[in-house]
Amino acid sequence: MNVKLLVTGGYGLVGKSIQELTSKTTKYEYVFLSSKECDLRDSVACQKFFSDNNFDIVIHLANVVAGLYGNINNNYTMLVDNIKINTNILECCKKYKVKRLVNILSTCVFGNDLKYPLTSNQMYDKIPDSSNEGYSYSKRLLATGSKLLTTSSDIEIVSLIPTNIFGKYDNFNIDNGHVFPVLIAKTFNAEKNLIIKGTGSCYRQFIYACDFAKIILHFVDCKLQKQFNQLIVGPPVKDEITIKELINKIVKEFDFNGEIIYDSSFPEGQHKKTVDDSELLEYIPDFKFTPLEESLKETVDYFKQNYETVRK
């Protein structure tokens, strides 16, 4: 009998990347779920969906998400909607005896002024940055709920805490997207001037969605030494760059020769949240991230070729 595997948020950035990687495999029976098929904020709908199926493994990607300014303007909605989604998933995994759950958190769970590089046990040491407070607390509650669930059931849980994810299937909406796809879209549409919100001085580390999908699939298959596992997923510290450095790489890909104007009147979010790859390497000792220049080129080329159909 095939192992049945649910991917919530199955048509988002990471979900589509998993689809691409698993399109030719028959090892599992994959079910990629979209919000159109089931609103996971609705506990009745969520339970019916689980009861109609018999999932062995769940990769939980679904969440209400936006970029910096979407988070700032919708902190309450981000908190409430994501708590509903995450609670319903945990409850259904418990009730319908799912064997393994792979969760996706975010490095936004960490507050400011911590010791760098960050480690997963620092999650509760400081309050989250106010720019994404609602989203951050919802992810902290998912982490806590997951840990507690392993103490009262047989489920194995892996909670992954990635740095900024980007890739071909991103949301390139200038108003609601994350920084990487927004900068690609703005540069593509710029004529004389490229207007950037903020100074570009914040530091970030980026993960190519294809790399992250491979990591997730590793935790679907691997033998776990512990029932509850929580780890940061990020590249080495040397791969951290400023937003200004990222912009310079993007404009080079587009051969943009206009003026770049930084508007310092806009908020920029957390200044830095530096991680390294040490926690990941404990589980996957030989993992290598795709170099940023290579993954950036692939993303920009895909965006150009599929401009009419990309999310925006």
Convert the pLDDT of each residue in 225-266 to its tens digit. 999 999 999 999 999 999 999 999 999 999 999 999 999 998
pLDDT above 70 covers a percentage of the chain that reads 100
- The encoded tokens of residue 208 equal 């190519």
**pLDDT number for residue 73:** 83
Q: What is the pLDDT of residues 130-177, one digit of tens each?
A: 888 999 999 999 999 999 999 999 999 999 999 999 999 999 999 888
pTM, two decimals, is 0.95
Distance CA 57, CA 202 (A): 37
How many helical (H) and strand (E) elements, i.e. helices and strands, does the chain have?
Answer: 10, 12
**pLDDT number for residue 109:** 95
> Given a cut of 90, is residue 87 above it in pLDDT?
yes
Domain annotation for the chain: domains and CATH numbers = 3-167+205-237+274-289 (3.40.50.720)
Mean pLDDT calculated for residue range 9-23: 96
Distance CA 236, CA 263 (A): 30
What is the phi/psi pair of residue 156, to 5°?
A: -95, 135
Cβ burial, residue 29 (10 Å; 0-12/13-18/19+): middle
Sequence-separated (6 or more) residues with CB below 8 Å from residue 181? 166, 170, 171, 172, 173, 303
Are 239 and 204 a contacting pair, CB within 8 Å?
Answer: no
Sequence-separated (6 or more) residues with CB below 8 Å from residue 164? 107, 178, 179, 180, 204, 205, 206, 207
**pLDDT number for residue 310:** 94
262 classed as catalytic? no
Check 11, 30, 135, 169 and give the catalytic one.
135
**pLDDT number for residue 1:** 59
Q: What is the pLDDT of residues 264-298, one digit of tens each?
A: 998 888 899 999 999 999 999 999 999 999 999 99
Q: What is the pLDDT of residues 170-214, one digit of tens each?
A: 999 998 888 999 999 999 999 889 999 999 999 999 999 999 999
**pLDDT number for residue 168:** 96
Distance from the Cα of residue 58 to its chain's centroid: 16
**pLDDT number for residue 176:** 83
Q: H or E segment at 260?
A: strand 259-263
In three-state secondary structure terms, 230 is strand
> Given a cut of 80, is residue 68 above it in pLDDT?
no
